[in-house]
Structure formats: C-alpha cells, structure tokens
Structure 1
Amino acid sequence: MPSSNPRYANYSARSALRKRMASQPQRCWMCGLPISPTYPARHPYALELDEIVPISKGGSAIDPANVRAAHRCCNQWRGDKPVGRVQSIATAARAAFGAWRSPAEFVLFARSAAKGAKAVPRKTASMPTSRRW
C-alpha cells in the first residue's frame, strides 16, 4: 500500500541516504555538537535527517543537497522554521547564554532566546571551609 508521506513513499532511497550519513562522523547543523551513532532511533540525541527546505514547503526528502544531519531534539525544535531564522536564534542563544554542552541545553537556550530572554547573571556560591569556621 503506497504511503502519502514522502519519507515513507521513498523508503529505500531515504534509508540509503540515512545509512550513508550514519556511516560517517556527523555534527548537528543546528547546535554544532557531534551526533553519536550509538543512540537508538527515538532517543532525543539520535541522528535524524533534516530537510533544509521542509517537505511541507516543497523540499525533497531524498535529495542529498536538501538533507542535513541533526539531533532528534534539535530537529523537533526546528519544525519548519527557515534556516536563517534557526541560525539567528542560535546566534542569539550563544550571545545570551554562552556555549551549550548538550543538544537539550541548546534547545532550552534556543527557546529562551527566541522569546527574547536574557541570561541571568549567576552568583557564585562560596563554600565555607574549615579555616573560616
């Protein structure tokens, strides 16, 4: 039974493209962090193929020029945002919050930056030592 979803309708071509990308070290095009091939398919840090021009906007699911590697959580955060908007949000997030250490932290920072939030200065807590007791 043919599928109306272009990702599944072209399953063999999409699967071959995914295998080719998974066989090489990849970095997420949104957060810039490495993507480990060890995560299972539905894990938030797993490799997903992200269409630069979303399928909903007429992009191809199997054209290698239209597909980039992304973490699942980054890809879900993006949705169908244009590439320029994603890059401007990532730049604003880095300026407001500094470098992120995980894809989940990137998504958190990006959501905050998209809302226009600014980083709250962190107070460094000093732990009293026995010399000061």
Structure 2
Amino acid sequence: MSKPDPRKQNGHRRRQTRARILARDTHCALCGQWIDKTLTTIPGQHGPKCTGQTPNHQPCPGCIPHPHRAEVDEDIPVSRGGSPHSLDNCALMHRQCNQWKSNQTLAEAQQQLTTQNTQHTTATPQQTTTRINW
C-alpha cells in the first residue's frame, strides 16, 4: 500500500504555507526571473477532457496551466524527505522551472544549470519549453 501524499494530508497548513510563500517571494528560486502571480491558465487553450464549459455552464476561459504561473516548490523534495509545510524548505518557482527541477534539490538543479552553461549550452528552464507569443 502506498503512503499518503504529505502535501495533501494537512491541507489547511499547506494553504497557509503557500499563501506566505506567495506573499514573501517575487522571483523564481531557480531561474531568478520575476514571476507574474496573476497567471493561471493559457486563455483559449483546452485540455483533452475539457467540455468547453465550467461546472456552472459558463464558457471555459482555458484550462491548460500557464508555463510561467507561480508554484510553490520544496527545496528538498517530499519524495526525499523534505517538509511541504516548512517555510525554509519552500520557495516560489515558475511552473516550467518546477517541472524541469523535478525531484532534485534546488542546489542540484542550479549546479546542473551551471554545468550546462559552462559547456556552451544556452538551455535554461525558461528555454526548455515553447514560449507562448501573445
């Protein structure tokens, strides 16, 4: 039997931690770029299960998460024993930076970026996915 996800065990505490991190941080912990906290989804783009309507029968504005939206990430991942409730272990990141970091610690991910950049590669988390041209 699998262990329950600690991020969902104490929802109130996680929501408090998330609110504090959103209020405290303004830049991505990995790439260092500013994060627009108003971004949620990509307008007009829908997932495969989208019916085109919200539950209250309004048109769906878009349900694909924006790659630059704000996400709270754990420096030491929960999968490696980190706490999802500790303010010292949590930081703000772009969604795509968080996905790129995966289950690495922040230091490991930053080291990997440094290694890539010294090998004359220009790939950063901000460049690993397709940017949206508005």
> TM bucket by the smaller chain?
0.5 to 0.7
**Which residue in the other structure is 2:86 paired with?**
63
1:4 aligns with 2:27: no
- 2-side partners of 1:37 and 1:26: how far apart? 8
Q: 1:68 to 1:25 in 2, by over 3 A?
A: closer
Between the aligned residues of both structures, percent identity stands at 31
How far off is 1:64 after superposition? 0.5
How far off is 1:26 after superposition? 1.4
Task: State which of 101, 104, 109 in structure 2 corresponds to 1:81.
Answer: 104
Cα deviation 1:2-47 (Å, max 9, x = unaligned) = x922111121111112122223451111111111111116321111
Larger radius of gyration: 1
> What is the letter of the counterpart of residue 36 of structure 1?
D
**Which residue in the other structure is 2:114 paired with?**
91
> What is the letter of the counterpart of residue 70 of structure 1?
M
Q: State the TM-score, normalizing by the size of structure 1.
A: 0.66
How far off is 1:90 after superposition? 1.7
1:94-109 counterparts in 2 under 5 A?
94-95=117-118, 96-97=120-121, 103-105=125-127, 107=128
Q: Which runs of 4+ in 1 moved over 3 A?
A: 97-100
Q: How big is the alpha-carbon RMSD for the aligned residues of Structure 1 and Structure 2?
A: 2.4
- 2-side partners of 1:40 and 1:84: how far apart? 27
**Which residue in the other structure is 1:112 paired with?**
none
> What is the letter of the counterpart of residue 77 of structure 2?
P
Name stretches of at least 5 consecutive residues in structure 2 with no aligned partner: 42-64, 130-134
> What is the letter of the counterpart of residue 71 of structure 1?
H
Q: State the TM-score, normalizing by the size of structure 2.
A: 0.65
State the SS of the aligned residue for 2:109: helix
